[in-house]
Structure 1
């Protein structure tokens, strides 16, 4: 199974991002809606990522076998984090993977700590994880190059997160989908008394 650990954006946030993309990146909208035959001597056209696929990756895992999958589920149970919020208010064009993305200008400390814990847990499960510095983002456009005009204005989109997930990266004739295969809650940092009152004990 090809998979990753990540955050699923709330539906309201996905729709807000889609609305922003249509207004700020009209060229992508036009290209996505126009079917034209491919020509070998023309550059690949930018492709709008489907709204349903908007997410923030915490750790890309790649191909995971049955043993690693079981170990992952066990290790992720040890990850502890509190719910958090972030604002997607900046964009960037990454030339390597050729993507245009939206990102938080100042990532929440809780998000960065969650990503650190998730990567540590994945390694403990025997899964190789990218060692480069973590840069949270939402991919909006693929096959993006310098020829793509920059966004007309920056986004300002809020999102709240109370859980993280194991996603499968699944391809078929209709394209790529990211079904959620397992979820873990982010639990507020409460006193023992408050946790008992809300029935959030480990027993």
Structure 2
């Protein structure tokens, strides 16, 4: 069994571009713990535990998704009270992101996985175990999104790592 999720796939450069926003979040909440730079992502659907057969079915289904590449402007720094995470989010959610998320959610649900969240709220978790009251509008970070991936969440040398298992191109 593997712990899986679908997410937008950020390039190494895009993850580096998120670093100043993470530093700003940590300056607002110094007791928070930074998410590892190579773990920064924007979840489309959290699957949870899946066996190898389910994993292969998810990959086969996701390879059939036909969705365009799009730009995403992240400009909203805030905190979820539960769980206590500081995040960066778009103030305007692109239609292409909403459509992609709906397609991914539909294929996951068709495979028997249910979403644990009431409503999809796209965000990039920058830090955990911290709180900040209020929201902060920040200069937008505009990213071109050209792929998403199926990830595995696993412990590696005592730390949590997100490993892309299969990438899927957006046209």
1:132-171 pair list within 5 angstroms = 132-146=118-132, 154-171=138-155
Separation (CA, whole Å) in 2 of partners of 1:153 and 1:51: 22
Q: Distance in 2 between matches of 1:106 and 1:27?
A: 23
From the superposition, tell whether residues 95 and 27 of structure 1 become closer, same or farther in structure 2 (CA, over 3 Å).
closer
Aligned length: 170
Distance 1:131 1:52, change over 3 A: closer
Map of 1:36-75 to 2, 5 A cutoff? 45-75=31-61
Q: Is the CA contact (8 Å cut-off) linking 1:10 and 1:159 kept in structure 2?
A: no
SS of the residue 1:59 aligns to: strand
Quick check: 2:26–2:32 contact (8 Å CA) kept in 1?
Answer: no
TM-score when normalising by structure 2: 0.89
**Residue in structure 1 matching 2:82, options 96, 116, 131:** 96
Taking the aligned partners of 1:105 and 1:91, their CA distance within structure 2 comes to: 10
| Number of the residue aligned with 2:73 | 87
Q: List 4+ stretches of structure 1 deviating above 3 A.
A: 149-153
The CA distance in 2 between the partners of 1:162 and 1:124, in whole Å, is: 25
Contact 1:24 1:152 (C-alpha < 8 Å) held by counterparts: no
Q: Which has the higher strand share?
A: 2
Q: In the aligned structure 2, how far is the partner of 1:88 from the partner of 1:152?
A: 12
- Distance between the aligned counterparts of 2:151 and 2:15, measured in 1? 17
Q: Which runs of 5+ in 2 are unaligned?
A: none
Gaps (5+ residues) in structure 1?
Answer: 32-44, 188-203
State the 1:131 CA deviation.
5.2
The higher relative CO (CA closer than 8 Å, separation ≥ 6) is in 2
1:183 aligns with 2:160: no
Once the two structures are overlaid, the 10-residue window that deviates more, 177-186 or 8-17, is: 8-17
CA spacing shift, 1:86–1:48, aligned 2, 3 Å: same
TM-score, with normalisation over the residues of structure 1?
A: 0.76
The structure with the largest alpha-carbon Rg is 1
DSSP-derived class of the 2:138 partner: coil
Determine the C-alpha separation between the residues in 2 that align with 1:161 and 1:104: 13
